[in-house]
Amino acid sequence: MHILWIKTELLHPVDKGGRIRTYQMLRQLRREHRITYLALDDGAGGPEAIERATEYCHDVVAVPFAARAKRTKGFYWELLQNLASPLPYAVAKYRSPALTRELRRLVRAGDVDVIVCDFLFPSLNVPSDLGPPVVLFQHNVEAAIWERHAQVATHPVKRLYMREQWRRMRAFEGRECRRFDKVVAVSREDCAVLARAYGLRDVEEVPTGVDTDFFRPSREVARNRNEIVFTGSMDWLPNEDAVAWFAAEILPRIRAQVPDAHFTIVGRTPSQPVLDLARTHRDITVTGSVPDVRPYMERAAAFVIPMRVAGGTRLKVYEAMGMEIPMVSTTIGIEGLPVRHDAELLVADEPEAFAAAVVRLLREPALGARLAADAAKRVRAEFGWREVASRFASICGALRTERRVRVPA
């Protein structure tokens, strides 16, 4: 099967959830299927991003693209211009006629079996008359993310802006989901939300996976009994909100009982508000990008997922399970994942309860060891990437067969 895969970015460096999921899926799919990877390229990954693309595809087509850096004059000018658009800014900024032209050219070659639009954002560049069936791979329910941004925003202007972006995203996401041949979501919960919100009759689940060989403790790093860690892309608003909330509302409650507790935030491209947390709190460290997150995870006594705005791949949950580190999460942080309170982790939603759960892990090593061992056993048995990719390939294969039956050659 020849799969034409479309995305808004090249995958190297493989340093955030969406890239990790796509990279691992394509590495597995590439073993049995031909993969052509079509993507926008803003140059941020350097020459390596194209040179290493053969790790996950047979052919790469990179379309030059200029993206505005966040919090620059150009960025704010684009936000201002977007006020007159019906599209949410997060989508509109990826409009690329050049990508559409390359997509049509590749399809005209005549041997593409299935097209995969990876994430909602590149979908505005995908015409409806291409011929081969098109799968929309929804890593999130995007409108739900913006709804929660609006709910947690405290400044009235920001809250008004987030509500408008939510309204636009909901309208756009509904239209796009309904016009593609198949929608694939990452959890049963997301499938149910998409079906209910947009009237979809044909949405299927392909769960998140994890590299269970890579995410495994070395047994060579000593655990710090009072170390708390969070990992994630730190230029992503839900992660930024999570660590800010933890620092303001939860960490002080923890330190009231464990005075030497320390919080380490590990992740690429921390925004200025995240960097400011380390400057104003002596008990917080912000690492920025690191070559390997595993040592930071292995030395911590607790891994926290204080998410108030959902979405994303939630790979951090399975990575922590593989690393055998005890976890505390909000309900939103594990939304859609088949993990349970007091089985693989502890779940708490209010600051007081969240802090109490973390203190329990810091003070009760036996509890943490039990949770971590059960979590590791489960993730290694059920959530490897080979099984995940096989499920995705089956969906694509069935769609190709269905199209050929409907439109005989």
pLDDT tens for 349-394 read 999 999 999 999 999 999 999 999 999 999 998 888 988 899 999 9
Q: Are 99 and 38 a contacting pair, CB within 8 Å?
A: yes
Nearest CA among 181, 82, 239 for reference residue 398:
181
- Alpha-carbon distances of 26 from 62, 95, 162, 312, rounded to whole Å: 17, 24, 34, 18
Instruction: Determine the average pLDDT of the residues in 162-182.
Output: 95
> Is pLDDT of 219 > 80?
yes
Greater model confidence, 347 or 80: 347
CB burial class (10 A; 0-12, 13-18, 19+) of residue 111? Answer: exposed
* Pick from 18-22, 300-304, 340-344: least confident: 18-22
Q: Using CA of residue 166, residue 194, residue 140, residue 116, what is the dihedral sign?
A: negative
For position 200, what pLDDT does the model report?
92
- Alpha-carbon distances of 353 from 96, 124, 146, 329, rounded to whole Å: 47, 43, 26, 11
For position 312, what pLDDT does the model report?
53
What CATH number was assigned to the domain covering residues 2-209+385-406? Answer: 3.40.50.2000
pLDDT tens profile 242-252:
999 999 999 99
At residue 101, φ and ψ (nearest 5 deg) are -60, -45
Domain boundaries, the chain: 2-209+385-406, 227-382
Distance CA(12)–CA(14), nearest Å, equals: 5
For position 408, what pLDDT does the model report?
44
Q: Are 235 and 271 a contacting pair, CB within 8 Å?
A: yes
Distance CA(37)–CA(59), nearest Å, equals: 6
For position 310, what pLDDT does the model report?
66
319-341 burial by CB neighbour count: b if 16+ within 10 A, else e? bbbbbbbbbbbbebbbbbbebee
> Is pLDDT of 323 > 90?
yes
Distance CA(134)–CA(116), nearest Å, equals: 6
For position 337, what pLDDT does the model report?
85
Q: Note whether 2-209+385-406 and 227-382 share their fold.
A: yes
The pTM (predicted TM-score) of the whole model is 0.77
Q: Which helix or strand (DSSP H or E) is residue 138 part of?
A: strand 134-138
What is the pLDDT confidence band of residue 409, given thresholds at 50, 70 and 90? very low
Q: Tokens representing 126?
A: 């995908």
What CATH number was assigned to the domain covering residues 227-382? Answer: 3.40.50.2000
Instruction: Determine the average pLDDT of the residues in 280-295.
Output: 94
> Is pLDDT of 36 > 90?
yes
Instruction: Determine the average pLDDT of the residues in 111-136.
Output: 96
pLDDT tens profile 65-103:
987 777 777 777 877 778 778 999 989 999 999 999 999
